[in-house]
Homo-oligomer: A and B are copies of this chain.
Protein backbone atom coordinates (compact mmCIF):
# COMPACT_ATOMS: atom_id res chain seq x y z
CA UNK A 1 0.00 0.00 0.00
CA UNK A 2 1.43 3.37 -1.03
CA UNK A 3 0.58 6.57 0.75
CA UNK A 4 -0.38 9.16 -1.83
CA UNK A 5 -4.02 8.34 -1.24
CA UNK A 6 -4.81 11.80 0.17
CA UNK A 7 -3.74 13.53 -3.06
CA UNK A 8 -5.78 11.20 -5.22
CA UNK A 9 -8.71 11.49 -2.84
CA UNK A 10 -8.64 15.26 -3.17
CA UNK A 11 -8.69 14.92 -6.97
CA UNK A 12 -11.67 12.63 -6.58
CA UNK A 13 -13.34 15.27 -4.42
CA UNK A 14 -12.89 17.89 -7.15
CA UNK A 15 -14.36 15.58 -9.73
CA UNK A 16 -17.38 14.84 -7.56
CA UNK A 17 -17.87 18.49 -6.74
CA UNK A 18 -18.00 19.18 -10.47
CA UNK A 19 -20.49 16.36 -10.96
CA UNK A 20 -22.59 17.80 -8.16
CA UNK A 21 -22.57 21.23 -9.79
CA UNK A 22 -23.95 19.79 -13.03
CA UNK A 23 -26.62 18.09 -10.94
CA UNK A 24 -27.35 21.49 -9.43
CA UNK A 25 -27.86 23.01 -12.90
CA UNK A 26 -30.25 20.17 -13.72
CA UNK A 27 -32.14 20.71 -10.47
CA UNK A 28 -32.46 24.40 -11.27
CA UNK A 29 -33.78 23.59 -14.76
CA UNK A 30 -36.36 21.29 -13.18
CA UNK A 31 -37.31 23.74 -10.44
CA UNK A 32 -37.71 26.51 -13.02
CA UNK A 33 -39.76 24.26 -15.28
CA UNK A 34 -42.27 23.79 -12.46
CA UNK A 35 -42.28 27.34 -11.13
CA UNK A 36 -41.53 30.14 -13.58
CA UNK A 37 -40.77 28.86 -17.09
CA UNK A 38 -43.10 30.15 -19.83
CA UNK A 39 -44.96 27.08 -21.09
CA UNK A 40 -43.54 27.09 -24.62
CA UNK A 41 -40.08 26.88 -23.11
CA UNK A 42 -40.59 23.16 -22.51
CA UNK A 43 -39.24 21.79 -25.78
CA UNK A 44 -35.86 23.43 -25.54
CA UNK A 45 -35.77 22.75 -21.79
CA UNK A 46 -36.18 19.02 -22.45
CA UNK A 47 -33.20 19.17 -24.78
CA UNK A 48 -31.15 21.09 -22.22
CA UNK A 49 -31.96 18.58 -19.50
CA UNK A 50 -31.19 15.68 -21.76
CA UNK A 51 -27.78 17.16 -22.63
CA UNK A 52 -26.97 17.96 -19.00
CA UNK A 53 -27.99 14.48 -18.02
CA UNK A 54 -25.63 13.08 -20.65
CA UNK A 55 -22.78 15.18 -19.32
CA UNK A 56 -23.63 14.14 -15.78
CA UNK A 57 -23.72 10.48 -16.69
CA UNK A 58 -20.41 10.78 -18.53
CA UNK A 59 -18.78 12.43 -15.53
CA UNK A 60 -20.03 9.61 -13.31
CA UNK A 61 -18.92 6.82 -15.64
CA UNK A 62 -16.04 8.32 -17.64
CA UNK A 63 -12.79 6.36 -18.03
CA UNK A 64 -11.05 9.21 -16.21
CA UNK A 65 -13.37 8.83 -13.21
CA UNK A 66 -13.11 5.07 -13.33
CA UNK A 67 -9.33 5.36 -13.33
CA UNK A 68 -9.36 7.86 -10.46
CA UNK A 69 -11.76 5.80 -8.36
CA UNK A 70 -9.93 2.63 -9.30
CA UNK A 71 -6.65 4.15 -8.12
CA UNK A 72 -8.19 4.43 -4.64
CA UNK A 73 -10.35 1.32 -4.40
CA UNK A 74 -10.02 -1.88 -6.39
CA UNK A 75 -13.13 -1.90 -8.58
CA UNK A 76 -13.23 -5.69 -8.63
CA UNK A 77 -12.41 -6.71 -5.06
CA UNK A 78 -13.34 -3.51 -3.23
CA UNK A 79 -9.92 -3.47 -1.57
CA UNK A 80 -8.55 -0.09 -0.42
CA UNK A 81 -5.27 0.68 -2.16
CA UNK A 82 -3.60 3.34 0.01
CA UNK A 83 -2.79 3.38 3.69
CA UNK A 84 -3.14 7.08 4.43
CA UNK A 85 -6.92 7.42 4.19
CA UNK A 86 -9.26 7.97 7.13
CA UNK A 87 -12.01 5.53 8.06
CA UNK A 88 -14.55 8.02 6.70
CA UNK A 89 -12.69 8.35 3.40
CA UNK A 90 -12.80 4.57 3.09
CA UNK A 91 -16.51 4.48 3.80
CA UNK A 92 -17.05 7.09 1.08
CA UNK A 93 -15.02 5.07 -1.39
CA UNK A 94 -17.02 1.92 -0.74
CA UNK A 95 -20.32 3.69 -1.43
CA UNK A 96 -18.86 5.33 -4.53
CA UNK A 97 -17.81 1.95 -5.84
CA UNK A 98 -21.36 0.64 -5.41
CA UNK A 99 -22.74 3.71 -7.22
CA UNK A 100 -20.25 3.24 -10.00
CA UNK A 101 -21.26 -0.39 -10.41
CA UNK A 102 -24.90 0.61 -10.76
CA UNK A 103 -24.28 3.57 -13.08
CA UNK A 104 -22.03 1.60 -15.39
CA UNK A 105 -24.80 -0.83 -16.05
CA UNK A 106 -26.96 1.85 -17.70
CA UNK A 107 -25.92 2.69 -21.28
CA UNK A 108 -25.53 6.39 -22.02
CA UNK A 109 -28.09 6.25 -24.83
CA UNK A 110 -30.63 4.80 -22.45
CA UNK A 111 -29.99 7.43 -19.76
CA UNK A 112 -30.33 10.25 -22.28
CA UNK A 113 -33.56 8.91 -23.74
CA UNK A 114 -34.93 8.30 -20.24
CA UNK A 115 -34.31 11.89 -19.15
CA UNK A 116 -35.91 13.28 -22.29
CA UNK A 117 -38.91 11.00 -21.83
CA UNK A 118 -39.29 12.06 -18.18
CA UNK A 119 -39.19 15.73 -19.02
CA UNK A 120 -41.76 15.42 -21.80
CA UNK A 121 -43.95 13.09 -19.76
CA UNK A 122 -44.02 15.47 -16.79
CA UNK A 123 -45.23 18.20 -19.07
CA UNK A 124 -47.88 15.95 -20.65
CA UNK A 125 -48.94 14.72 -17.23
CA UNK A 126 -49.54 18.26 -16.05
CA UNK A 127 -51.86 18.86 -19.02
CA UNK A 128 -53.53 15.46 -18.65
CA UNK A 129 -54.14 16.13 -14.96
CA UNK A 130 -55.66 19.53 -15.72
CA UNK A 131 -58.19 17.94 -18.06
CA UNK A 132 -58.44 14.65 -16.15
CA UNK A 133 -57.51 12.97 -19.41
CA UNK A 134 -55.76 9.69 -18.64
CA UNK A 135 -55.88 8.58 -22.29
CA UNK A 136 -53.56 11.40 -23.40
CA UNK A 137 -51.07 10.39 -20.71
CA UNK A 138 -51.33 6.61 -21.20
CA UNK A 139 -48.83 6.37 -24.12
CA UNK A 140 -46.26 8.21 -22.00
CA UNK A 141 -46.89 5.98 -19.00
CA UNK A 142 -46.50 2.92 -21.23
CA UNK A 143 -43.11 4.21 -22.30
CA UNK A 144 -42.20 4.93 -18.70
CA UNK A 145 -43.10 1.37 -17.66
CA UNK A 146 -41.23 -0.11 -20.61
CA UNK A 147 -38.17 2.02 -19.86
CA UNK A 148 -38.27 0.97 -16.22
CA UNK A 149 -38.47 -2.69 -17.20
CA UNK A 150 -35.41 -2.12 -19.38
CA UNK A 151 -33.72 -0.33 -16.50
CA UNK A 152 -34.37 -3.26 -14.18
CA UNK A 153 -32.96 -5.65 -16.79
CA UNK A 154 -29.83 -3.49 -17.17
CA UNK A 155 -29.35 -3.27 -13.41
CA UNK A 156 -30.08 -6.93 -12.75
CA UNK A 157 -32.08 -8.52 -9.89
CA UNK A 158 -32.45 -11.81 -8.06
CA UNK A 159 -36.15 -12.29 -7.47
CA UNK A 160 -38.26 -9.51 -8.91
CA UNK A 161 -37.51 -6.73 -11.46
CA UNK A 162 -39.05 -4.26 -9.01
CA UNK A 163 -36.21 -5.03 -6.57
CA UNK A 164 -33.74 -3.40 -8.97
CA UNK A 165 -35.86 -0.25 -9.06
CA UNK A 166 -36.62 0.18 -5.36
CA UNK A 167 -32.93 -0.37 -4.65
CA UNK A 168 -32.19 2.88 -6.53
CA UNK A 169 -34.24 4.87 -4.01
CA UNK A 170 -33.91 2.72 -0.90
CA UNK A 171 -30.67 0.76 -1.07
CA UNK A 172 -31.06 -2.78 0.14
CA UNK A 173 -34.87 -2.80 0.17
CA UNK A 174 -36.70 -5.66 -1.59
CA UNK A 175 -40.23 -6.68 -2.55
CA UNK A 176 -39.90 -9.52 -0.07
CA UNK A 177 -39.44 -7.13 2.88
CA UNK A 178 -42.06 -4.73 1.53
CA UNK A 179 -44.72 -7.37 0.86
CA UNK A 180 -44.35 -8.59 4.41
CA UNK A 181 -44.40 -5.10 5.90
CA UNK A 182 -47.28 -3.81 3.81
CA UNK A 183 -49.55 -6.80 4.48
CA UNK A 184 -49.32 -6.09 8.19
CA UNK A 185 -49.74 -2.33 7.75
CA UNK A 186 -52.66 -2.73 5.38
CA UNK A 187 -54.53 -5.05 7.71
CA UNK A 188 -54.03 -2.90 10.79
CA UNK A 189 -54.75 0.42 9.10
CA UNK A 190 -57.94 -0.79 7.44
CA UNK A 191 -59.04 -2.10 10.84
CA UNK A 192 -58.24 1.20 12.57
CA UNK A 193 -60.05 3.12 9.86
CA UNK A 194 -63.07 0.85 10.28
CA UNK A 195 -63.21 1.54 14.02
CA UNK A 196 -62.95 5.28 13.47
CA UNK A 197 -65.68 5.24 10.83
CA UNK A 198 -68.07 3.42 13.14
CA UNK A 199 -67.65 6.16 15.74
CA UNK A 200 -68.92 8.65 13.14
CA UNK A 201 -67.53 11.47 15.24
CA UNK A 202 -67.95 14.96 13.74
CA UNK A 203 -65.76 17.94 14.55
CA UNK A 204 -66.64 21.58 14.16
CA UNK A 205 -65.33 22.69 10.77
CA UNK A 206 -63.29 25.86 10.40
CA UNK A 207 -64.96 27.87 7.64
CA UNK A 208 -62.57 30.51 6.37
CA UNK A 209 -60.89 31.97 3.32
CA UNK A 210 -57.25 33.02 3.52
CA UNK A 211 -55.61 34.97 0.73
CA UNK A 212 -52.66 33.61 -1.23
CA UNK A 213 -50.56 36.43 0.13
CA UNK A 214 -51.38 35.73 3.79
CA UNK A 215 -50.90 32.01 3.43
CA UNK A 216 -47.51 32.40 1.76
CA UNK A 217 -46.48 34.81 4.47
CA UNK A 218 -47.48 32.32 7.15
CA UNK A 219 -45.66 29.53 5.28
CA UNK A 220 -42.45 31.53 5.10
CA UNK A 221 -42.66 32.42 8.78
CA UNK A 222 -43.22 28.84 9.85
CA UNK A 223 -40.30 27.66 7.75
CA UNK A 224 -38.09 30.27 9.32
CA UNK A 225 -39.28 29.18 12.78
CA UNK A 226 -38.24 25.56 12.13
CA UNK A 227 -34.82 26.72 10.97
CA UNK A 228 -35.04 27.49 7.26
CA UNK A 229 -33.84 31.06 6.95
CA UNK A 230 -34.53 33.06 3.76
CA UNK A 231 -30.81 33.62 3.32
CA UNK A 232 -30.48 30.03 2.16
CA UNK A 233 -33.99 28.93 1.25
CA UNK A 234 -37.11 30.08 -0.55
CA UNK A 235 -40.75 29.10 -0.96
CA UNK A 236 -42.69 29.17 -4.24
CA UNK A 237 -45.81 27.48 -5.54
CA UNK A 238 -46.21 24.51 -7.88
CA UNK A 239 -48.93 22.04 -8.82
CA UNK A 240 -47.15 19.34 -6.84
CA UNK A 241 -45.04 20.63 -3.93
CA UNK A 242 -41.41 19.53 -3.74
CA UNK A 243 -38.05 20.41 -2.20
CA UNK A 244 -34.83 20.70 -4.15
CA UNK A 245 -31.42 21.26 -2.55
CA UNK A 246 -29.88 23.12 -5.46
CA UNK A 247 -26.81 23.83 -3.38
CA UNK A 248 -25.76 23.47 0.26
CA UNK A 249 -27.06 26.96 0.92
CA UNK A 250 -29.81 27.08 -1.68
CA UNK A 251 -32.83 25.07 -0.59
CA UNK A 252 -35.93 25.53 -2.75
CA UNK A 253 -39.29 24.57 -1.31
CA UNK A 254 -42.63 24.74 -3.01
CA UNK A 255 -46.18 24.56 -1.72
CA UNK A 256 -49.76 24.67 -2.98
CA UNK A 257 -52.15 27.32 -1.75
CA UNK A 258 -55.89 26.66 -1.58
CA UNK A 259 -57.83 29.66 -0.38
CA UNK A 260 -60.43 27.81 1.71
CA UNK A 261 -57.96 25.33 3.19
CA UNK A 262 -55.11 27.02 5.05
CA UNK A 263 -54.22 23.73 6.77
CA UNK A 264 -53.16 22.16 3.49
CA UNK A 265 -50.55 24.83 2.81
CA UNK A 266 -49.17 24.70 6.35
CA UNK A 267 -48.51 20.97 6.16
CA UNK A 268 -47.15 21.19 2.67
CA UNK A 269 -44.64 23.71 4.00
CA UNK A 270 -43.74 21.61 7.04
CA UNK A 271 -43.37 18.51 4.89
CA UNK A 272 -41.02 20.12 2.38
CA UNK A 273 -39.39 21.95 5.29
CA UNK A 274 -38.38 18.61 6.80
CA UNK A 275 -36.72 17.64 3.53
CA UNK A 276 -35.08 21.04 3.39
CA UNK A 277 -33.60 20.78 6.88
CA UNK A 278 -32.12 17.40 6.02
CA UNK A 279 -30.72 18.83 2.75
CA UNK A 280 -29.23 21.75 4.64
CA UNK A 281 -27.96 19.64 7.53
CA UNK A 282 -26.37 16.94 5.47
CA UNK A 283 -24.70 18.62 2.56
CA UNK A 284 -22.45 21.35 3.96
CA UNK A 285 -19.11 21.23 2.21
CA UNK A 286 -18.87 17.56 1.33
CA UNK A 287 -20.36 18.28 -2.07
CA UNK A 288 -20.73 15.20 -4.17
CA UNK A 289 -19.36 12.80 -1.53
CA UNK A 290 -21.72 10.20 -0.03
CA UNK A 291 -21.01 11.69 3.41
CA UNK A 292 -22.71 14.89 2.15
CA UNK A 293 -25.87 13.25 0.87
CA UNK A 294 -29.08 12.03 2.43
CA UNK A 295 -29.14 8.33 3.24
CA UNK A 296 -32.10 7.32 1.08
CA UNK A 297 -35.45 8.58 -0.10
CA UNK A 298 -37.09 6.76 2.77
CA UNK A 299 -34.92 8.50 5.33
CA UNK A 300 -35.40 11.78 3.54
CA UNK A 301 -39.12 11.15 3.79
CA UNK A 302 -38.75 10.30 7.48
CA UNK A 303 -37.69 13.92 7.93
CA UNK A 304 -40.54 15.43 5.97
CA UNK A 305 -43.07 13.22 7.73
CA UNK A 306 -41.49 13.91 11.08
CA UNK A 307 -41.95 17.66 10.66
CA UNK A 308 -45.29 17.35 8.91
CA UNK A 309 -47.02 14.73 11.05
CA UNK A 310 -45.17 13.17 13.96
CA UNK A 311 -44.09 16.57 15.28
CA UNK A 312 -46.20 18.98 13.21
CA UNK A 313 -49.58 17.42 13.92
CA UNK A 314 -48.86 16.82 17.59
CA UNK A 315 -50.83 18.72 20.19
CA UNK A 316 -47.73 20.51 21.44
CA UNK A 317 -46.65 21.75 18.05
CA UNK A 318 -50.13 22.94 17.12
CA UNK A 319 -50.30 24.80 20.41
CA UNK A 320 -46.97 26.49 19.63
CA UNK A 321 -48.05 27.29 16.08
CA UNK A 322 -51.43 28.74 16.99
CA UNK A 323 -50.22 32.33 17.55
CA UNK A 324 -48.64 32.36 14.06
CA UNK A 325 -51.93 31.33 12.48
CA UNK A 326 -53.96 33.78 14.53
CA UNK A 327 -51.67 36.60 13.48
CA UNK A 328 -51.02 35.86 9.81
CA UNK A 329 -54.44 34.58 8.84
CA UNK A 330 -56.33 37.10 10.97
CA UNK A 331 -58.17 34.47 13.02
CA UNK A 332 -57.98 35.83 16.59
CA UNK A 333 -60.73 33.53 17.87
CA UNK A 334 -59.45 30.23 16.58
CA UNK A 335 -59.38 27.72 19.45
CA UNK A 336 -56.63 25.16 19.98
CA UNK A 337 -59.09 22.27 20.28
CA UNK A 338 -60.86 23.10 17.03
CA UNK A 339 -57.57 23.52 15.22
CA UNK A 340 -56.17 20.24 16.58
CA UNK A 341 -59.31 18.36 15.59
CA UNK A 342 -59.44 19.86 12.12
CA UNK A 343 -55.80 19.03 11.49
CA UNK A 344 -56.08 15.47 12.74
CA UNK A 345 -59.56 14.47 11.72
CA UNK A 346 -59.60 11.15 9.87
CA UNK A 347 -61.41 11.47 6.58
CA UNK A 348 -60.16 9.39 3.69
CA UNK A 349 -59.24 11.71 0.86
CA UNK A 350 -58.70 11.07 -2.84
CA UNK A 351 -55.44 12.98 -2.76
CA UNK A 352 -52.44 11.34 -1.11
CA UNK A 353 -50.77 14.53 0.07
CA UNK A 354 -54.02 15.73 1.64
CA UNK A 355 -54.54 12.47 3.50
CA UNK A 356 -54.84 11.91 7.19
CA UNK A 357 -52.23 9.79 8.96
CA UNK A 358 -54.33 6.63 8.94
CA UNK A 359 -55.15 6.69 5.23
CA UNK A 360 -51.73 7.82 4.10
CA UNK A 361 -49.93 4.49 4.01
CA UNK A 362 -52.93 2.83 2.40
CA UNK A 363 -52.48 5.28 -0.49
CA UNK A 364 -48.88 4.13 -0.75
CA UNK A 365 -49.69 0.45 -0.57
CA UNK A 366 -52.21 0.92 -3.40
CA UNK A 367 -49.53 2.56 -5.56
CA UNK A 368 -46.97 -0.09 -4.65
CA UNK A 369 -49.30 -2.89 -5.68
CA UNK A 370 -50.12 -1.18 -8.97
CA UNK A 371 -46.59 -0.32 -10.00
CA UNK A 372 -45.24 -3.70 -8.98
CA UNK A 373 -47.91 -5.29 -11.20
CA UNK A 374 -47.09 -2.91 -14.08
CA UNK A 375 -43.43 -3.80 -13.88
CA UNK A 376 -43.97 -7.53 -13.73
CA UNK A 377 -46.43 -7.19 -16.64
CA UNK A 378 -49.47 -8.52 -14.83
CA UNK A 379 -51.33 -5.20 -15.22
CA UNK A 380 -51.84 -3.15 -18.38
CA UNK A 381 -51.49 0.64 -18.35
CA UNK A 382 -55.03 0.97 -19.77
CA UNK A 383 -56.41 -0.76 -16.68
CA UNK A 384 -54.67 1.49 -14.16
CA UNK A 385 -57.67 3.84 -13.61
CA UNK A 386 -60.02 0.90 -13.04
CA UNK A 387 -57.74 -0.93 -10.61
CA UNK A 388 -56.92 2.32 -8.87
CA UNK A 389 -60.57 3.05 -8.21
CA UNK A 390 -61.30 -0.50 -7.08
CA UNK A 391 -58.48 -0.44 -4.57
CA UNK A 392 -59.50 3.01 -3.35
CA UNK A 393 -62.93 1.63 -2.58
CA UNK A 394 -61.54 -1.48 -0.91
CA UNK A 395 -58.94 0.26 1.27
CA UNK A 396 -60.44 3.68 1.88
CA UNK A 397 -64.09 3.30 1.01
CA UNK A 398 -64.11 6.13 -1.52
CA UNK A 399 -64.06 6.24 -5.34
CA UNK A 400 -62.51 9.17 -7.24
CA UNK A 401 -64.98 10.93 -9.54
CA UNK A 402 -62.28 11.47 -12.17
CA UNK A 403 -58.66 10.48 -12.79
CA UNK A 404 -57.13 13.80 -11.78
CA UNK A 405 -58.39 12.88 -8.29
CA UNK A 406 -57.15 9.35 -8.88
CA UNK A 407 -54.29 7.85 -10.80
CA UNK A 408 -53.25 11.18 -12.36
CA UNK A 409 -52.70 12.96 -9.06
CA UNK A 410 -48.99 12.30 -8.57
CA UNK A 411 -46.06 13.53 -10.63
CA UNK A 412 -43.79 10.55 -9.86
CA UNK A 413 -44.60 8.13 -12.66
CA UNK A 414 -44.45 10.94 -15.20
CA UNK A 415 -40.94 11.70 -13.96
CA UNK A 416 -40.00 8.13 -14.66
CA UNK A 417 -39.87 7.15 -11.00
CA UNK A 418 -41.21 3.66 -10.36
CA UNK A 419 -40.14 2.10 -7.07
CA UNK A 420 -40.21 5.49 -5.40
CA UNK A 421 -43.61 5.38 -3.67
CA UNK A 422 -42.79 2.73 -1.02
CA UNK A 423 -40.20 5.10 0.43
CA UNK A 424 -43.10 7.31 1.52
CA UNK A 425 -44.48 4.57 3.76
CA UNK A 426 -41.01 3.69 5.01
CA UNK A 427 -40.51 7.34 5.88
CA UNK A 428 -43.46 7.25 8.26
CA UNK A 429 -42.20 4.15 9.98
CA UNK A 430 -38.64 5.49 10.32
CA UNK A 431 -39.98 8.86 11.57
CA UNK A 432 -42.01 7.25 14.34
CA UNK A 433 -38.98 5.28 15.56
CA UNK A 434 -36.63 8.25 15.34
CA UNK A 435 -38.99 10.50 17.25
CA UNK A 436 -39.54 7.83 19.90
CA UNK A 437 -35.80 7.52 20.54
CA UNK A 438 -35.41 11.29 20.61
CA UNK A 439 -38.26 11.83 23.07
CA UNK A 440 -36.88 9.20 25.42
CA UNK A 441 -33.43 10.79 25.32
CA UNK A 442 -34.81 14.30 25.83
CA UNK A 443 -37.93 14.23 28.02
CA UNK A 444 -38.00 18.02 28.47
CA UNK A 445 -38.84 18.50 24.77
CA UNK A 446 -42.55 19.11 25.39
CA UNK A 447 -41.69 22.07 27.58
CA UNK A 448 -39.25 23.49 25.03
CA UNK A 449 -41.76 23.09 22.24
CA UNK A 450 -44.06 25.55 23.99
CA UNK A 451 -41.43 28.22 23.21
CA UNK A 452 -41.04 26.82 19.67
CA UNK A 453 -37.56 25.73 20.68
CA UNK A 454 -36.66 22.83 18.38
CA UNK A 455 -32.93 23.01 18.96
CA UNK A 456 -32.66 19.71 20.84
CA UNK A 457 -34.45 17.88 18.05
CA UNK A 458 -32.18 19.52 15.50
CA UNK A 459 -29.10 18.48 17.46
CA UNK A 460 -30.39 14.92 17.77
CA UNK A 461 -31.11 14.65 14.06
CA UNK A 462 -27.83 16.27 13.10
CA UNK A 463 -25.85 13.80 15.20
CA UNK A 464 -27.83 10.63 14.59
CA UNK A 465 -28.95 11.11 11.01
CA UNK A 466 -27.59 14.09 9.05
CA UNK A 467 -23.95 13.56 10.03
CA UNK A 468 -23.92 10.02 8.67
CA UNK A 469 -24.75 11.19 5.18
CA UNK A 470 -25.14 8.22 2.88
CA UNK A 471 -22.34 6.19 4.39
CA UNK A 472 -24.66 3.52 5.78
CA UNK A 473 -27.59 1.74 4.18
CA UNK A 474 -30.98 2.82 5.58
CA UNK A 475 -31.53 -0.35 7.60
CA UNK A 476 -27.99 -0.25 9.01
CA UNK A 477 -28.48 3.37 9.98
CA UNK A 478 -31.83 2.63 11.62
CA UNK A 479 -30.26 -0.20 13.59
CA UNK A 480 -27.59 2.20 14.79
CA UNK A 481 -30.25 4.58 16.10
CA UNK A 482 -32.66 1.99 17.47
CA UNK A 483 -31.93 -1.72 17.95
CA UNK A 484 -35.27 -2.66 16.44
CA UNK A 485 -34.33 -1.22 13.06
CA UNK A 486 -37.36 -1.24 10.76
CA UNK A 487 -40.24 -1.84 13.13
CA UNK A 488 -43.79 -0.97 12.07
CA UNK A 489 -45.07 -1.59 15.62
CA UNK A 490 -43.73 1.71 16.97
CA UNK A 491 -45.53 3.51 14.16
CA UNK A 492 -48.77 1.55 14.56
CA UNK A 493 -48.71 2.04 18.36
CA UNK A 494 -48.29 5.78 17.90
CA UNK A 495 -51.26 5.90 15.52
CA UNK A 496 -53.44 3.71 17.72
CA UNK A 497 -52.68 5.75 20.85
CA UNK A 498 -53.22 9.13 19.22
CA UNK A 499 -56.41 8.28 17.38
CA UNK A 500 -57.91 6.23 20.18
CA UNK A 501 -57.86 9.35 22.29
CA UNK A 502 -59.13 11.64 19.51
CA UNK A 503 -61.94 9.29 18.52
CA UNK A 504 -62.58 7.64 21.89
CA UNK A 505 -61.84 4.11 20.66
CA UNK A 506 -61.57 1.06 22.91
CA UNK A 507 -57.95 -0.01 22.96
Contacts and interface: CB of A to CB of B under 8 A. Distances in A.
A22 interface: yes
Contacts of A287: 44
Interface string A10-51: 000000011001101100110010001111110111011001
Contacts of A36: 36, 234, 236
B234 A38 contact: yes
A40 B48 CA distance: 26
- Using C-beta atoms within 8 Å of the partner chain, give the interface range for chain A: 35 or more
A249 B40 CA distance: 6
B41 A250 contact: yes
A32 B44 CA distance: 17
B48 A249 contact: no
A181 B43 CA distance: 44
Contacts of A29: 25, 28
A247 B32 contact: no
A40 B17 CA distance: 18
B25 A25 contact: yes
B32 A249 contact: no
B21 A232 contact: no
Contacts of A234: 36, 38
Contact of A18 (B24, B51, B246, B251): B51
A481 interface: no
Contacts of A43: 247, 249
Interface string A224-250: 000000111110100000000011111
A464 B382 CA distance: 52
A51 B23 CA distance: 11
Interface string A368-412: 000000000000000000000000000000000000000000000
Contacts of A40: 231-232, 249-250
Contacts of A231: 38-40
A472 interface: no
A51 B287 CA distance: 14
A55 interface: yes
B25 A247 contact: no
Contacts of A247: 41, 43-45, 48
Interface of A: 17-18, 21-22, 24-25, 28-29, 32, 36-41, 43-45, 47-48, 51-52, 55, 230-234, 236, 246-251, 287
Nearest 8 CB-CB pairs, A to B?
A41-B250, A44-B247, A40-B249, A21-B48, A40-B232, A21-B51, A25-B25, A40-B231
Given A48-B21, A249-B44, A28 B32 contact: yes
17 contacts: A18-B51, A21-B44, A21-B47, A22-B55, A25-B25, A25-B29, A28-B28, A28-B29, A32-B32, A38-B232, A38-B233, A38-B249, A40-B249, A40-B250, A41-B232, A44-B250, A45-B250
Nearest to A23: B48
A230 B32 contact: no
B52 A25 contact: yes
B41 A249 contact: yes
Nearest to A283: B44
B47 A17 contact: yes
A21 to B, nearest CB: 4
Contacts of A44: 21, 24, 246-250, 287
Contacts of A236: 36
Contacts of A233: 38
Nearest to A37: B250
Nearest to A231: B40
Given A36-B236, A44-B250, 17 more contacts: A21-B44, A21-B48, A21-B52, A24-B44, A25-B25, A25-B48, A25-B52, A28-B29, A28-B32, A36-B36, A38-B233, A38-B251, A40-B250, A41-B232, A43-B247, A44-B246, A44-B248
